[in-house]
C-alpha cells in the first residue's frame, strides 16, 4: 500500500500561540509501507499547551523509531496481536503524562494535551485516543472512529443532553481526561480493516466545531483526492471556512489516502 498525505495547522483568529502539534511518519518494511499519524492539541485554557503537545509528538516519534520495529517483526512472524500495540501505547502515554505533569509542577504551571493517532499496516488500522481530537475514516461515507472524552459526550451518552444542545453548550470543550493534567490517563484503542481508496482524517476540535461531518466528506470525497497538492489545498480551504464561521481555536488536520501500489 502507498500513502498520499497532506497536513496543515493554523494559529486561528484569536490565540497568540498555536498549541497544536501534528506528525506523519512512514517506514518501509518487509510487509510493505507502514504509516503513523497523530494530532495533539495542547490544552487551550492551560498555559504552555504547546509544550505538552510537542512532548507527546516527540514521544510518538521515539516510539516509532525505537519500539515499533519489534512489533513489525512479530507481524512478519505471524505472532502479533493488537494487545502488543495497546501495551506499548498505554505505557508511552503513561510515561509522557507523568513527565509533562512533573514539568508542570517544577514551573508551577498546569499544562496538558489531547492525542489521537492512527497506525496503518496494509489493510489493518489501529487508533489511539485521549481527549477530544478525532480520527475519521472516509470510505462509502464518513465514519467517526474515536469518541470524545468530554463532559458533553458523557451527557449525550446518558441522555441528559441533545445533539443540538451539545453544539452550543458552554462546557463543550471540558475534557474528562488529558495527558499531563489527569492523575491517571486511560487511552481508548480500536482497530479495523481498511482498503485502497479509503482516507483517514485526523483533526483537533478546532477543525470540526463548526463544520459537519457531511461537509468534510464532500470536501475530501475520496475519488476526487487524486494527489497531495489537491489534498493540501482542501485542508487549507476547510481551515479558511472554519475561520469564516468564527472558529477561534487553533485549527489542524491531517489527511491520509491509501493507494494501491502499481
Only one residue has cell 483568529, namely 13
Note the pLDDT of residue 168.
82
Note the pLDDT of residue 262.
73
**Grid coordinates standing for 168?**
452550543
**Grid coordinates standing for 66?**
525505537
d(CA 90, CA 76): 23
Cβ neighbours of 151 (radius 10 Å): 18
d(CA 225, CA 96): 35
d(CA 227, CA 214): 21
Cβ burial of 35 (10 Å; 0-12, 13-18, 19+) is buried
Cβ neighbours of 38 (radius 10 Å): 26
- pLDDT < 50 positions in the chain: none
List pLDDT tens digits, range 245-258: 999 899 999 999 99
d(CA 252, CA 38): 11
Q: What is the pTM of this model?
A: 0.96
d(CA 65, CA 186): 24
Q: Classify 1 as helix, strand or coil.
A: coil
Note the pLDDT of residue 145.
98
**Alpha carbon distances (Å) from 252 to 16, 41, 110:** 15, 9, 23
Note the pLDDT of residue 26.
98
Cβ burial of 244 (10 Å; 0-12, 13-18, 19+) is exposed
d(CA 67, CA 91): 12
d(CA 218, CA 132): 23
Note the pLDDT of residue 44.
55
Note the pLDDT of residue 166.
85
- In the chain, % of residues over pLDDT 90: 88
Of 45, 43, 147, give the one whose Cα is nearest residue 100: 43
Amino acid at each position: 500500500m502507498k500513502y498520499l498525505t497532506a497536513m496543515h495547522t493554523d494559529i486561528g483568529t484569536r490565540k497568540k500561540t498555536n498549541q497544536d502539534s501534528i506528525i506523519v511518519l512512514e517506514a518501509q518494511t518487509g510487509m510493505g509501507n507502514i504509516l503513523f499519524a497523530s494530532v495533539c492539541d495542547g490544552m487551550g485554557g492551560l498555559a504552555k499547551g504547546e509544550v505538552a503537545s510537542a512532548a507527546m509528538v516527540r514521544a510518538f516519534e521515539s516510539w516509532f523509531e525505537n519500539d515499533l520495529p519489534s512489533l513489525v517483526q512479530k507481524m512478519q512472524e505471524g505472532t502479533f496481536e493488537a494487545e502488543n500495540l495497546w501495551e506499548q501505547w498505554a505505557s508511552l502515554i503513561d510515561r509522557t503524562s507523568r513527565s509533562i505533569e512533573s514539568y508542570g509542577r517544577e514551573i508551577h504551571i498546569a499544562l496538558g494535551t489531547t492525542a489521537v493517532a492512527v497506525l496503518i499496516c496494509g489493510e489493518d488500522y489501529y487508533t489511539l485516543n485521549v481527549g477530544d481530537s478525532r480520527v475519521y475514516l472516509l470510505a462509502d461515507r464518513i465514519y467517526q472512529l474515536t469518541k470524545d472524552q468530554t463532559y458533553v459526550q458523557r451527557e449525550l451518552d446518558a441522555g441528559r443532553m441533545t445533539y443540538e444542545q451539545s453544539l452550543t453548550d458552554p462546557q463543550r470543550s471540558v475534557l474528562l481526561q488529558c495527558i499531563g493534567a489527569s492523575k491517571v490517563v486511560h487511552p481508548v484503542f480500536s482497530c479495523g480493516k481498511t482498503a485502497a481508496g479509503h482516507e483517514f482524517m485526523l483533526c483537533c476540535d478546532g477543525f470540526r466545531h463548526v463544520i459537519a461531518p457531511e461537509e468534510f466528506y464532500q470536501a475530501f470525497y475520496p475519488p476526487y483526492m487524486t494527489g497531495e497538492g489537491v489534498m493540501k489545498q482542501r485542508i487549507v480551504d476547510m481551515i479558511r471556512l472554519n475561520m469564516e464561521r468564527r472558529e477561534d481555536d487553533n485549527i489542524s488536520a491531517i489527511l491520509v489516502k491509501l493507494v494501491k501500489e502499481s
